[in-house]
Amino acid sequence: PLDAQIDALCSSTDDAEMANTTTHAAELAELSAQENMLLQRCTSLMPEDRVFLARRPDRPHIGEIIDNLFTDFFEQCGDRQCKEDAAILCGIARFHGMPVTVLGHRKGTTLEENLRCNFGMPGPEGYRKALRVMKQAEKFRRPIITFIDTPGAYPGKDAEERGQGEAIARNLMEMSGLTVPVLAIVTGEGSSGGALGLGVANHILMLENAVYSVLSPEG
């Protein structure tokens, strides 16, 4: 946002806007100073600071991303074996008119949503649902875009009893052989196999101050 404001001021040619040159220059200097201060803060961040930023609740969530990047989103639910897992959001949509399959971890934005989505920690049903949707994308030749933001797969006893490890391992195997393009984007924290279950891709991108690790930092 600061870059956009600075560029707008620098490129302004409107006579009314340029009438007060002193005010214009002062505003530009203030914005430039704010930008420099933010850049200096970012360069001195410690690794634990990056983790803190990756976990901030105001980072982009999968719902916001879909609303702003895609059109005609249609959610698909259930793994067709056990139940629905709200911790992974899947569906089909259009990206600049192109049909695509979109899926990603969902943490929720309120306490009620956090609890319903298990704070973004999927169970085996979530990964089986994701695989079902990805195989459907392969059948209909749709590119796949995944958004990763999870502290890890749910480690509870009940999840292990229902085959958590097998579900993630199967996703890794099946995603390795997909014949359609796969793009994975780490938007917040991507920890452990919970992230890898959606992260086998042709290209992997990360937002600034996102983290991608073999396990959560506390592990």
Q: Tell me the pLDDT tens digit for each residue of 29-53.
A: 777 777 677 666 666 778 888 888 8
How would you classify residue 85: left for phi > 0, otherwise alpha for psi between -120 and 50, otherwise beta? beta
Per residue in 120-154, pLDDT (tens digit) is 999 999 999 999 999 999 999 999 999 999 999 99
Backbone angles phi, psi at 103, to 5 degrees: -150, 155
* pLDDT value of position 161: 92
Instruction: Tell me the average pLDDT across 12-19.
Output: 57
Computed over every residue of the chain, the mean pLDDT equals 88
Task: Count Cβ atoms below 10 Å from residue 120 Cβ, excluding itself.
Answer: 26
For the segment(s) 52-213, the CATH number from 3.90.226.10, 3.30.1490.20, 3.40.710.10, 2.60.40.10 is 3.90.226.10
* pTM of the entire predicted model: 0.79
pLDDT value at position 218? Answer: 77
Task: Give the residue with greater pLDDT, 200 vs 9.
Answer: 200
Q: What is the pLDDT of residue 22?
A: 57
CA dihedral 139, 101, 148, 82 (to 10 degrees): -60
pLDDT band at 99 (very low <50, low <70, confident <90, very high): very high
Distance CA 30, CA 135 (A): 52
Q: Which of 177, 209, 213, 178 is nearest to 196 (CA)?
A: 213
Question: Dihedral sign, CA of 80, 81, 82, 84?
Answer: negative
Q: Which of the four pLDDT bands, split at 50, 70 and 90, describes residue 62?
A: very high
| Lowest-confidence segment of 73-77, 114-118, 134-138, 214-218 by average pLDDT | 214-218
pLDDT of residue 47: 82
Task: Decide: 205 and 185 in contact? Cβ < 8 Å.
Answer: yes
Q: What percent of the chain has pLDDT over 70?
A: 84
- Could you give the C-alpha distances from 189 to 44, 47, 113, 147, in angstroms and in order? 20, 13, 18, 10
**pLDDT(175) > 90:** yes
How confident is the model over 86-104, as a mean pLDDT?
Answer: 96
